[in-house]
């Protein structure tokens, strides 16, 4: 083929750092190596039985055909109830669009909002896909740094200073991937006031809103004011809360006109999400929630374990996460060292060394906008966390990982 046949958007697209590390780990596992993965944000629990039973029943009942584009009425009603319950703001079914995963829901929201050259503000650290999706939509990502001492929360003053003539969207993620932190209510209030003063829209990624620890509370920016409610697209889904990553079910809640626009976009891309998954998601949202509470309790135990073990490693510091299932250790004191005969100049070098020598998979922080950190997911067993951190400590302090 002639060179340059690929579009500019594909040529400029950065692959997912998380998936790249996961593939390296899988390759080693296929070779018979014992690898402990802290790379992928995927609950290590089975999808609860009542959800699976609903999917099986849907198959037996013949739910095999196309459905309405944005979801069947039962699912949209269940999502509207969940959004109203979670935020305290009333949502109706015509403000809901169900899609094939929260990731696609975010992409559709960006497509609906951004024209060529429009800017989207992304607080750093950020999920690796946000800047890439903005660019795929023709927009320009404007990254605004946050401080670790502020629990990685975007400063309202920094947000205001970053707004320009072409700024249209703020992407907000609380609880956060990769930091594991939540935005405190007073910070959400202040950000909402800036949003209103400067005429911004917000895409509020709330996919981890049920995974909050230590008595913390989730506050949605939709609760700040009428303006914020009328200019926010909430994104959520089943993947993290119900251990349904492979089922691919996400949704948006938005003002009615915006929801219709997103529904129209979906009609020309994927059409409806999978019919069987819609039945499962309805059961997840309307069924018993004990399964969620049990998962959250287990994640809360694991965050305490991994936080303590990482802070016991020479050269690491790690803040206590308050939500999701990630930690973002600061590894700046390790950079420049020679470890196990290898000069570690960057977090990429460190992650490569950890995989090669200690057989643990972590993700460098650079692609998340955190160049002095690495990201680790504790969505794995307590035994794996303890063994993985033991290997980490041995490699750093003795040069002998596994």
Same structural domain, 179 and 234: yes
Closest by Cα among 339, 343, 330, 320 to 372 = 330
How many domains in the chain?
Answer: 2
How much is the pLDDT for 399? 78
- Number of Cβ within 10 Å of residue 232's Cβ equals 29
117: CB partners within 8 A, 6+ apart: 138, 139, 140, 166
How much is the pLDDT for 15? 75
Same structural domain, 172 and 95: yes
Within a domain: 1: no
Backbone torsions φ then ψ of 398, nearest 5 degrees: -125, -10
Along the 402 residues of the chain, how does pLDDT read in single tens digits? 455 788 888 888 887 777 777 788 788 778 888 999 998 889 999 999 999 999 999 999 999 999 999 999 999 999 999 999 999 999 999 999 999 999 999 999 999 999 999 999 999 999 999 999 999 999 999 999 999 999 999 999 999 999 999 999 999 999 999 999 999 999 999 999 999 999 999 999 999 999 999 989 899 999 999 999 999 999 999 999 999 999 999 999 999 999 999 999 999 999 999 999 999 999 999 999 999 999 999 999 999 999 999 999 999 999 999 999 999 999 999 999 999 999 999 999 999 999 999 999 999 999 999 999 999 999 999 999 999 999 999 999 987 766
Within a domain: 392: yes
- The rounded distance, in Å, linking the Cα atoms of 214 and 225 is 27
Range of the domain at 237: 49-286
> Against a cut of 0.85, is the pTM above it?
yes
How much is the pLDDT for 401? 61
Same structural domain, 60 and 137: yes
Same structural domain, 18 and 118: no
Same structural domain, 383 and 268: no
Look at residues 255, 286, 317 and tell me which one is the last residue of a structural domain: 286
User: If DSSP codes are grouped into helix, strand and coil, which group holds residue 197?
Assistant: helix
Look at residues 225, 259, 286 and tell me which one is the last residue of a structural domain: 286
Same structural domain, 15 and 59: no
């Amino acid at each position: 083929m002639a060179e340059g046949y690929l579009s500019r958007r594909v040529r400029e697209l950065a692959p997912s750092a998380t998936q790249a590390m996961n593939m390296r780990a899988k390759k080693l596992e296929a070779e018979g190596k014992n690898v402990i993965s802290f790379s992928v944000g995927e609950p290590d629990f089975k999808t609860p039985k009542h959800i699976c039973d609903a999917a099986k029943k849907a198959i037996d009942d013949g739910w095999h055909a196309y459905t309405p584009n944005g979801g069947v009425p039962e699912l949209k009603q269940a999502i509207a109830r969940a959004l109203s319950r979670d935020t305290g703001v009333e949502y109706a079914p015509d403000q809901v669009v169900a899609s094939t995963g929260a990731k696609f829901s975010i992409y559709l929201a960006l497509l609906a909002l951004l024209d060529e050259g429009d800017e989207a503000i992304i607080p750093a650290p950020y999920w690796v896909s946000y800047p890439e999706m903005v660019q795929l939509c023709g927009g320009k990502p404007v990254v605004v740094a946050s401080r670790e001492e502020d629990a990685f929360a975007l400063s309202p003053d920094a947000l205001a200073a970053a707004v320009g003539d072409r700024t249209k969207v703020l992407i907000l993620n609380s609880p956060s991937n990769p930091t594991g932190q939540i935005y405190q209510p007073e910070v959400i209030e202040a950000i909402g006031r800036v949003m209103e003063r400067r005429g911004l829209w917000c895409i509020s990624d709330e996919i981890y809103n049920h995974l909050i620890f230590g008595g913390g509370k989730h506050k949605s920016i939709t609760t700040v004011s009428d303006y914020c409610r009328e200019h926010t697209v909430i994104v959520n889904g089943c993947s993290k809360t119900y251990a349904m990553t492979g089922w691919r079910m996400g949704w948006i809640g938005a003002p009615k006109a915006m929801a219709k626009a997103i529904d129209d976009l979906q009609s020309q891309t994927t059409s409806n999400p999978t019919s069987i998954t819609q039945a499962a998601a309805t059961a997840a949202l309307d069924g018993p929630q004990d399964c969620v509470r049990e998962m959250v309790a287990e994640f809360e135990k694991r965050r305490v374990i991994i936080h303590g073990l990482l802070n016991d490693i020479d050269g690491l510091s790690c803040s206590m996460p308050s939500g999701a299932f990630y930690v973002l250790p600061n590894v700046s004191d390790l950079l420049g060292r020679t470890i196990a005969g290898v000069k570690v100049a960057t977090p990429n070098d460190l992650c490569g060394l950890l995989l090669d020598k200690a057989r643990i998979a972590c993700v460098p922080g650079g692609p998340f906008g955190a160049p002095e950190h690495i990201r680790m997911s504790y969505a794995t067993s307590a035994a794996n966390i303890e063994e993985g951190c033991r290997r980490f400590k041995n490699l750093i302090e003795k040069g002998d990982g596994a």
